[in-house]
Chain A
Amino acid sequence: MSTLTISVGPQHPGSGHFRLIVTLDGDRIVDAIPDPGYVHRGEEKLAEYRNYIQNIPHFERMGLHDANNMMFAYVNAVEHLMDLKVPERADYIRVIMAELNRLIAHLYYTAITGIFVGHSTMFMWPVGDRELFIDLAQMIAGQRVSYAFILPGGVRNDMPEEVKKKAEKACDYFEKRLVEYDKLLMNNPLFERRAKGVGILTKQDAIRLGVVGPALRASGVKFDVRRNDPYSVYDRLDFDIPVSNDGDTWARVWVHMEEMKQSMRIIRQALKQIPTGPVKVNLRGQVRVPPGESFGRAEASRGEISYYLVSDGGRFPYRLRVITPSFRNMIAMPYVLKGMVLADMPPSYWSLDYWPVEADR
C-alpha cells in the first residue's frame, strides 16, 4: 500500500501552533498523529517561582479568550486552601465574566469552524459579534482580553450599573444573530452534508479517552462541572446542559451553539439576582497560603480545567499541576480522524475543541 504523509502545521492555514502528521491512502486518512509542544512554556514550573497573585496573569495566557475560566479553577483551589469566604456580589460577577468568556470563546470556535469549511462569511460574522461581549467584559473588568480579574478573595473591582442594560441589549441582539447563524451554517445543506455523520466519537470512546467539555456532551455524556460539582453560585442559577447523542462534527458545533444560548440565560439571571455589597475580601500584605493540598476545577469553555495545588506555606506554590481540557481532547484526535477523507480533517479536529496554547501549557 503506497501512502502519502503530509505535515499539517505548524505553518499551514488549517492548523494552529501544532502539527498533525497525516498519512493518506488516496484521499482517506490512515493515521493522524498530533504533535503538540510548539508553544510549551512550562507554566507549571514557572508557577513555582511566582507568588499566588503573580501566577494569575500568566495562567491566563493558556487560553486568552477564555481567561476568566482559566483563573476560576485556580482561584477555587487557592481559596479552598485559604478557607476564604468570597462576598456574594463577587461570586456573581465572577460567573458573569466566566459566561462572557464562554461566549467569546465559543464565538471564536464558530468562526474557525466556518473558515475551516471554507465559509468566509461564517468567519467574519462571529468575529464581529464577539465585539459585543468583549465590550461588555471591558466595561466590567477594564480589559478586553487578558483581565487578571478574578483574584483570591473576590474580584479586582466592582462592575458599573449600566452593564445590566447593555448586557440585556447585547443578549437580545445576539439571540437574533444566532437564528441567522443557524440559517447560514447549521441548517445549510452543504454544511449538513459535510458535517453530519463525520468524525464520530462514540460514547464509549469519549469516556475511555477522557474527553471533556462540549465534545464529551456531543457524544451523549451529560457531564458539566457547573452542574455535577457546582462551584461559585452556579447551583443557584437555572440552565440546561445541551447533550447530543450523535457524536459527530455537526453535533459538536451544535452543542457550542446551544451553550451560547445557555450562557446568555445565565448572564441574564445573574444580573437579576446580583446583590449589592463588597466585591473582595481585603487581604493584607502578601497572600500566604497555609500548607496543604487542594484541588480546584471549573468548566472552561473547552471543558473541565483542573488545578492541583500543593502549598508548603511559603510565598510560592510548592507544586502546581494543571490539566487542561485541550490536552485531554487532543488524545481523541487520532481516533476521530482515522478513516475520514482529508477534506473533513480541519473542521473535525477543530470541532474537538483543541487549542494548542492551552494544551501545551
Chain B
Amino acid sequence: MSQIRTFNDFLKRIAIVVGALVVILAVIFGILVFTVPQVKAFNNLLLASFSNPRLMLDFLDRHGVGFNSLLFRVVVFPGFTWAALIAAEVIWFERKFLAKMQVRVGPLYAGKIAGLLQPIADVIKLLFKEMISPARSDKLIYYSVPVLLMAIGSALLAIIPVSEAWLIMRSDVSVLAIFAVAGFGPLVVLLAGWASNSKYPFIGGLRGLHQLVAFEIPMLVSVLGIVLAAGTLDMVNVVQAQSSVWFVVLMPLGAIAFFCCMLAELERLPFDMPEAESEIVVGYMTEYSSMAFGNLQGLAAYIRFYAMAGIFTTLFLGGWHGPQILPAGFEIAQQVEWFTIKTLAVMVLVIILRGVAPRYRMDLLLRMGWARLLVLAFVNLFLVLLIIQMGWFPIKVGV
C-alpha cells in the first residue's frame, strides 16, 4: 500500500479498510441467509423494502427502534447525533468566523470547501494519538471525567423541547432538572483537577469550582422570574406561555443575568479562567491527551454549549415560536427550524464575544457573580413579582 502523505490519502486508506469490511460482512451475511431462517426472513424484508420502504419502517417500529421510538429520539434526533453534528459545525464556524474577525483565513484544506471537514480531521487525528495519564493519578476518576462531562451535556439535551410534539422528555419539573444536571459540573471539574495529580490542573479545578458555584445561584434566581410568569416548571409550558411575547422582552435584566451566568458555566471568554492558557496552560484539562482531551475541549464542551444555548432560547427567546414560513402540515419541521435558528444565533453571539473580549480575572469574576449578577437577578425577580401583583402582565399568568 502507498504511504499516507496527505489527508486525502488517509481518507482513501479508510475507504479501502471500510470497503474490505463491508465485503467481509456481506460474505458472512450471505452465508447466514442460507443457514439461519430468521436471517432469511430479514433478507426477504430487506429486498421487499426497496420497493416499499413502509415495510422496513413498520419492522423497525415493531422492534422499538423506529422513528417514533424513544431510542431514535435520544440517539438521533433531537438527541445526541443532532447535537454532535451541530457541535462539529459550530466548531468549524467558530474557527472560520474568528479567523474573519482577525483578518486570517482559518481552516482551508481539509474537505476542499473552506475547510469544512477540519473538525472531523481533528477528531481522527486525536483518535490516533496515545492516551497518556500522569504517574500516580487516580486512573478511574481521571478517565471517567471526560465521560461524565459528556454525560452532563447530553443529559441537558433531553430537557430541551425543540418542538411541541417531537421531544425527548416532558416533565413537570424540567426547569429544575436543568439545575439538577448542571449542578454536577463543578464536581466533575474539581475531580478532573484532583485526579490529574498535577499543579496546573489543580489550580484550574479549583477555579472551575469557584466559578461554577458562584454562577449557579444567580442563574437559578434569574430563572425564578420565568417560573413565576409562566406559572409552571415545565419547559414545554414555558414555551407555550411565550406565544405572544418572548420573556426576553418582559424581563431583560433576567436575560442578561442568565446570559452572563451561561458564559461562566460554559467557560467561554471572557470567563474562561479555568482554562486560561497563558496562566495555567489549559487548566484542569492540562494532563489529558488524545480523544479524552478532544472530548473535554471539543465535543463535550460544544454539546454543552449547544444545550445551554438551547435552554436560553427556550426560556427567553420563545423556543419554537416564530412566523409561519412552511405550509400547514409541516408544523414540527417549522418549530425545529425556528428553534435551531434562534439557538445558533445565541451561539454566534457567544462566539463574537470571544473575538472582542479579553479574559476577566478570578476575584473580579467572583465579585461579579455574587455581588452584581445575584442582585440583578433578584431585582428582576422583584420586578416580575410587582407587575404580576399589579396585574400589568401582558400574558396570562399560570397555565
Contacts and interface: CB of A to CB of B under 8 A. Distances in A.
B358 A4 contact: no
A120 B276 CA distance: 12
A119 interface: yes
A343 interface: yes
A343 B358 CA distance: 12
A193 to B, nearest CB: 6
B125 interface: no
B203 interface: yes
Interface in A113-129: 114-125, 128
A4 B269 CA distance: 27
A117 B281 contact: no
A194 B361 contact: yes
A188 B279 contact: no
Interface residues of A, number: 34
Interface stretch (A6-14, A66-74, A77-85, A100-108): A6-14
A247 B255 CA distance: 39
A179 interface: no
Contacts of A194: 358-361, 364
B130 interface: no
B153 to A, nearest CB: 23
A345 B280 CA distance: 11
A115 B361 CA distance: 14
Given A121-B356, A194-B358, A341 B363 contact: yes
Contacts of B356: 121, 184, 188
Q: Which of B276, B278, B357 has the most CB of A within 10 A?
A: B278
Contacts of A118: 269-270, 272, 276-278, 358-359
Contacts of B276: 118, 343
Contacts of A122: 358
B74 interface: no
Contacts of B203: 4, 6, 24, 342
B382 to A, nearest CB: 27
Contacts of A13: 277-278, 281
**Chain B interface mostly:** helix
B358 A27 contact: no
A18 B101 CA distance: 32
Contacts of B360: 190, 193-194
A239 interface: no
B358 A345 contact: no
A190 B280 contact: no
Contacts of B98: 120-121
B84 interface: no
A343 B362 contact: yes
B165 interface: no
B315 to A, nearest CB: 26
A44 interface: no
A191 B358 contact: yes
A57 interface: no
Interface residues of B, number: 29
A343 B279 contact: yes
A316 B101 CA distance: 52
A88 interface: no
A346 interface: yes
Given A118-B272, A118-B276, A342-B203, A190 B281 contact: no
A193 B364 contact: yes
Contacts of B102: 120-121, 123-125, 128
Interface string A278-321: 00000000000000000000000000000000000000000000
Contacts of B104: 124, 128
A346 to B, nearest CB: 4
Given A4-B199, A6-B200, A128-B103, A342 B358 contact: no
Nearest to B354: A120
Contacts of A117: 278, 358-359
Interface in B186-225: 199-200, 203
B206 to A, nearest CB: 9
Interface in B364-399: 364
B170 to A, nearest CB: 40
B103 A124 contact: yes
A344 interface: yes
Interface string A1-42: 000101000001110000000001001000000000000000
B363 A27 contact: yes
A185 interface: yes
Interface string B75-119: 000000000000000000000001001111000000000000000
16 contacts: A6-B203, A13-B281, A27-B362, A115-B278, A117-B278, A120-B102, A122-B358, A128-B104, A185-B358, A193-B360, A194-B359, A341-B361, A341-B362, A343-B276, A344-B361, A346-B279
Interface of B: 98, 101-104, 199-200, 203, 269-270, 272-273, 276-281, 354-364
**What are the 5 tightest A-B residue pairs by CB atom distance, in nearest-first order?**
A118-B359, A124-B102, A119-B358, A14-B278, A117-B358
Interface of A: 4, 6, 12-14, 24, 27, 114-125, 128, 184-185, 188, 190-191, 193-194, 341-347
Given A14-B277, A343-B362, 19 more contacts: A4-B199, A6-B199, A13-B277, A114-B358, A118-B276, A121-B355, A122-B358, A124-B103, A128-B103, A185-B358, A188-B358, A191-B358, A193-B360, A194-B359, A341-B361, A343-B276, A343-B279, A343-B359, A347-B278
